[in-house]
Amino acid sequence: MGNVHVLDHPLIQHKLTYIRDKHTGTKEFRELVDEVAALMAFEITRNFPLQEKTTETPMMEATTNVLAGKKVGLIPILRAGLGMVDGMLNLIPAARVGHVGMYRDPETLTPHEYYVKLPSDIEERELIVLDPMLATGGSANDAIYSLKKRGARQIRLMCLVGAPEGVEVIQNEHPDVDIFLAALDERLNDDGFIVPGLGDAGDRLYGTK
Protein backbone atom coordinates (compact mmCIF):
# COMPACT_ATOMS: atom_id res chain seq x y z
CA MET A 1 0.00 0.00 0.00
CA GLY A 2 1.27 3.47 -0.86
CA ASN A 3 2.60 5.47 2.03
CA VAL A 4 1.06 8.72 3.17
CA HIS A 5 3.60 11.37 4.08
CA VAL A 6 2.34 14.43 5.93
CA LEU A 7 5.03 17.06 5.49
CA ASP A 8 4.98 18.73 8.87
CA HIS A 9 7.86 21.16 8.34
CA PRO A 10 7.11 24.31 10.38
CA LEU A 11 7.34 26.61 7.33
CA ILE A 12 4.83 24.46 5.44
CA GLN A 13 2.45 24.37 8.40
CA HIS A 14 2.74 28.13 8.98
CA LYS A 15 2.03 29.02 5.36
CA LEU A 16 -0.78 26.46 5.14
CA THR A 17 -2.58 28.25 7.97
CA TYR A 18 -2.71 31.44 5.88
CA ILE A 19 -3.77 29.45 2.81
CA ARG A 20 -6.70 28.09 4.85
CA ASP A 21 -7.65 31.54 6.19
CA LYS A 22 -10.73 32.81 4.36
CA HIS A 23 -9.47 36.39 4.72
CA THR A 24 -6.45 35.66 2.52
CA GLY A 25 -7.00 37.29 -0.88
CA THR A 26 -6.22 35.91 -4.33
CA LYS A 27 -2.76 37.46 -4.72
CA GLU A 28 -1.51 36.26 -1.36
CA PHE A 29 -3.20 32.86 -1.76
CA ARG A 30 -1.41 32.31 -5.06
CA GLU A 31 1.95 33.34 -3.58
CA LEU A 32 1.51 31.06 -0.58
CA VAL A 33 0.55 28.03 -2.71
CA ASP A 34 3.65 28.69 -4.79
CA GLU A 35 5.86 28.86 -1.70
CA VAL A 36 4.38 25.75 -0.10
CA ALA A 37 4.77 23.82 -3.36
CA ALA A 38 8.48 24.70 -3.39
CA LEU A 39 8.91 23.60 0.21
CA MET A 40 7.07 20.37 -0.55
CA ALA A 41 9.32 19.82 -3.58
CA PHE A 42 12.25 19.92 -1.21
CA GLU A 43 10.73 17.11 0.87
CA ILE A 44 9.30 15.00 -1.94
CA THR A 45 12.71 14.77 -3.62
CA ARG A 46 14.49 13.80 -0.42
CA ASN A 47 15.04 10.17 -1.50
CA PHE A 48 16.14 10.88 -5.06
CA PRO A 49 19.26 8.79 -5.75
CA LEU A 50 22.70 10.37 -5.99
CA GLN A 51 25.79 9.30 -7.84
CA GLU A 52 29.41 10.16 -7.19
CA LYS A 53 31.27 12.63 -9.35
CA THR A 54 34.87 13.75 -9.27
CA THR A 55 35.07 17.53 -8.90
CA GLU A 56 38.04 19.86 -8.88
CA THR A 57 37.48 22.39 -6.15
CA PRO A 58 39.89 25.36 -5.97
CA MET A 59 41.69 23.34 -3.29
CA MET A 60 41.84 19.76 -4.57
CA GLU A 61 40.11 16.98 -6.46
CA ALA A 62 37.17 15.66 -4.44
CA THR A 63 34.54 12.97 -4.71
CA THR A 64 31.15 14.70 -4.56
CA ASN A 65 27.51 13.89 -5.35
CA VAL A 66 25.11 14.80 -8.13
CA LEU A 67 21.58 13.57 -8.85
CA ALA A 68 21.67 10.22 -10.60
CA GLY A 69 19.94 11.47 -13.74
CA LYS A 70 16.38 11.03 -12.53
CA LYS A 71 14.00 12.58 -15.03
CA VAL A 72 10.97 14.25 -13.51
CA GLY A 73 7.56 15.05 -14.93
CA LEU A 74 5.15 17.38 -13.17
CA ILE A 75 1.49 16.67 -13.89
CA PRO A 76 -0.84 19.39 -12.61
CA ILE A 77 -4.52 18.48 -12.60
CA LEU A 78 -6.26 21.48 -14.17
CA ARG A 79 -7.09 23.87 -13.04
CA ALA A 80 -6.05 24.17 -9.42
CA GLY A 81 -2.91 22.03 -9.81
CA LEU A 82 -1.45 24.75 -12.02
CA GLY A 83 -0.94 26.86 -8.91
CA MET A 84 1.69 24.41 -7.68
CA VAL A 85 3.78 24.17 -10.87
CA ASP A 86 6.00 27.26 -10.61
CA GLY A 87 6.96 26.52 -7.01
CA MET A 88 8.03 23.02 -8.01
CA LEU A 89 9.93 24.27 -11.06
CA ASN A 90 11.92 26.63 -8.83
CA LEU A 91 13.58 23.56 -7.34
CA ILE A 92 13.35 21.14 -10.27
CA PRO A 93 13.85 23.45 -13.25
CA ALA A 94 14.55 20.68 -15.76
CA ALA A 95 11.24 18.92 -15.12
CA ARG A 96 8.84 18.51 -18.03
CA VAL A 97 5.24 19.48 -17.41
CA GLY A 98 2.24 17.47 -18.59
CA HIS A 99 -1.36 18.57 -18.10
CA VAL A 100 -4.47 16.59 -17.21
CA GLY A 101 -7.74 18.52 -17.29
CA MET A 102 -10.25 17.17 -14.82
CA TYR A 103 -13.53 18.80 -13.87
CA ARG A 104 -15.52 17.61 -10.88
CA ASP A 105 -19.27 17.80 -11.42
CA PRO A 106 -20.53 19.83 -8.43
CA GLU A 107 -23.73 17.76 -8.18
CA THR A 108 -22.52 14.20 -8.63
CA LEU A 109 -18.85 14.86 -7.59
CA THR A 110 -17.88 12.66 -10.57
CA PRO A 111 -14.69 13.72 -12.34
CA HIS A 112 -14.64 14.30 -16.11
CA GLU A 113 -11.42 14.31 -18.09
CA TYR A 114 -11.35 17.08 -20.70
CA TYR A 115 -7.68 17.47 -21.65
CA VAL A 116 -4.49 15.41 -21.62
CA LYS A 117 -1.11 16.54 -22.95
CA LEU A 118 1.97 14.72 -21.68
CA PRO A 119 5.72 14.55 -22.32
CA SER A 120 6.42 11.79 -24.86
CA ASP A 121 8.67 9.82 -22.51
CA ILE A 122 6.47 9.57 -19.41
CA GLU A 123 7.39 5.90 -18.94
CA GLU A 124 10.96 6.97 -18.12
CA ARG A 125 10.01 9.75 -15.75
CA GLU A 126 9.26 10.02 -12.09
CA LEU A 127 5.86 11.70 -12.29
CA ILE A 128 4.54 13.98 -9.59
CA VAL A 129 0.79 14.60 -9.87
CA LEU A 130 -0.15 18.00 -8.44
CA ASP A 131 -3.52 19.02 -7.06
CA PRO A 132 -4.14 21.18 -3.98
CA MET A 133 -7.18 19.09 -2.96
CA LEU A 134 -7.63 15.35 -2.47
CA ALA A 135 -11.34 15.24 -1.56
CA THR A 136 -13.29 12.16 -2.69
CA GLY A 137 -10.12 11.17 -4.56
CA GLY A 138 -12.06 10.82 -7.82
CA SER A 139 -10.03 13.37 -9.80
CA ALA A 140 -6.61 12.13 -8.68
CA ASN A 141 -7.69 8.51 -9.12
CA ASP A 142 -8.82 9.09 -12.72
CA ALA A 143 -5.75 11.21 -13.50
CA ILE A 144 -3.45 8.44 -12.25
CA TYR A 145 -5.32 5.80 -14.28
CA SER A 146 -5.04 8.05 -17.30
CA LEU A 147 -1.25 8.34 -16.81
CA LYS A 148 -0.84 4.59 -16.30
CA LYS A 149 -2.89 3.86 -19.43
CA ARG A 150 -0.38 5.99 -21.34
CA GLY A 151 2.63 4.15 -19.96
CA ALA A 152 3.53 5.90 -16.69
CA ARG A 153 5.37 3.63 -14.27
CA GLN A 154 6.47 5.78 -11.33
CA ILE A 155 3.94 8.17 -9.88
CA ARG A 156 3.76 10.24 -6.70
CA LEU A 157 0.78 12.35 -5.69
CA MET A 158 1.29 15.73 -4.02
CA CYS A 159 -1.61 17.69 -2.53
CA LEU A 160 -1.92 20.47 0.01
CA VAL A 161 -4.84 19.01 1.95
CA GLY A 162 -6.32 15.54 1.81
CA ALA A 163 -9.42 13.94 3.31
CA PRO A 164 -9.19 10.41 4.71
CA GLU A 165 -11.80 9.32 2.13
CA GLY A 166 -9.60 10.42 -0.78
CA VAL A 167 -6.46 8.93 0.73
CA GLU A 168 -8.24 5.58 1.07
CA VAL A 169 -9.35 5.61 -2.57
CA ILE A 170 -5.80 6.22 -3.82
CA GLN A 171 -4.33 3.65 -1.46
CA ASN A 172 -6.84 1.02 -2.62
CA GLU A 173 -6.73 1.80 -6.33
CA HIS A 174 -3.03 2.67 -6.61
CA PRO A 175 -1.02 0.93 -3.89
CA ASP A 176 2.16 1.81 -5.81
CA VAL A 177 1.59 5.58 -5.46
CA ASP A 178 2.99 7.44 -2.47
CA ILE A 179 0.90 10.39 -1.29
CA PHE A 180 2.47 13.62 0.01
CA LEU A 181 0.25 16.07 1.87
CA ALA A 182 0.80 19.28 3.80
CA ALA A 183 -2.13 18.21 6.00
CA LEU A 184 -4.49 15.28 6.44
CA ASP A 185 -7.81 16.89 7.35
CA GLU A 186 -10.79 15.55 9.30
CA ARG A 187 -13.32 14.53 6.66
CA LEU A 188 -15.55 15.55 3.75
CA ASN A 189 -18.73 17.51 4.38
CA ASP A 190 -22.07 16.69 2.71
CA ASP A 191 -21.11 18.77 -0.35
CA GLY A 192 -17.89 16.82 -0.85
CA PHE A 193 -15.64 19.60 0.44
CA ILE A 194 -12.71 18.92 2.72
CA VAL A 195 -13.18 20.27 6.25
CA PRO A 196 -11.66 22.25 7.72
CA GLY A 197 -9.95 22.47 4.32
CA LEU A 198 -9.26 25.70 2.46
CA GLY A 199 -12.39 26.15 0.34
CA ASP A 200 -12.29 25.76 -3.44
CA ALA A 201 -8.62 26.00 -4.38
CA GLY A 202 -9.29 26.74 -8.08
CA ASP A 203 -11.65 29.60 -7.32
CA ARG A 204 -9.34 31.06 -4.69
CA LEU A 205 -6.30 30.85 -6.98
CA TYR A 206 -7.97 32.45 -9.94
CA GLY A 207 -10.49 34.76 -8.25
CA THR A 208 -13.49 33.09 -9.87
CA LYS A 209 -16.92 32.36 -8.42
Q: H helices of 45-193, where?
A: 85-91, 138-149, 164-173
Q: Which residue stretch of 12-20, 90-98, 125-133, 177-185 sits at the interface with ligand PRP (rule: CB under 6 A)?
A: 125-133
Q: How many Cβ atoms are within 10 Å of 188's Cβ, its own excluded?
A: 19
- Among positions 137, 174, 178, 198, the unique one binding ligand PRP when judged by CB under 6 A: 137
Buried b (16+ CB within 10 A) or exposed e, 197-209: bbbebbebbeeee
Query: Is 104 noted as a catalytic residue in this protein?
Result: yes
Whether residue 57 lies in the annotated active site: no
Report helix angle 26-44 to 10-20, nearest 10.
150
Confirm or reject binding of residue 138 to ligand PRP (CB under 6 A): yes
In angstroms, the CA 83 to CA 32 distance is 10
In the complex with ligand PRP, the residue whose CB is nearer, 46 or 209, is: 209
Interface characters, 64-103, with ligand PRP (x: CB under 6 A): -------------xxxx---------------------xx
Q: Is position 34 annotated in a ligand binding site? A: no
Consecutive H or E run containing 37: helix 26-44
Q: Which residues are catalytic?
A: 104, 108, 200, 203
The footprint of ligand PRP (CB under 6 A) covers 77-80, 102-104, 109, 111, 131-140, 166, 192, 200-202
Binding site as annotated, residues: 79, 104, 131-139, 194, 199-201
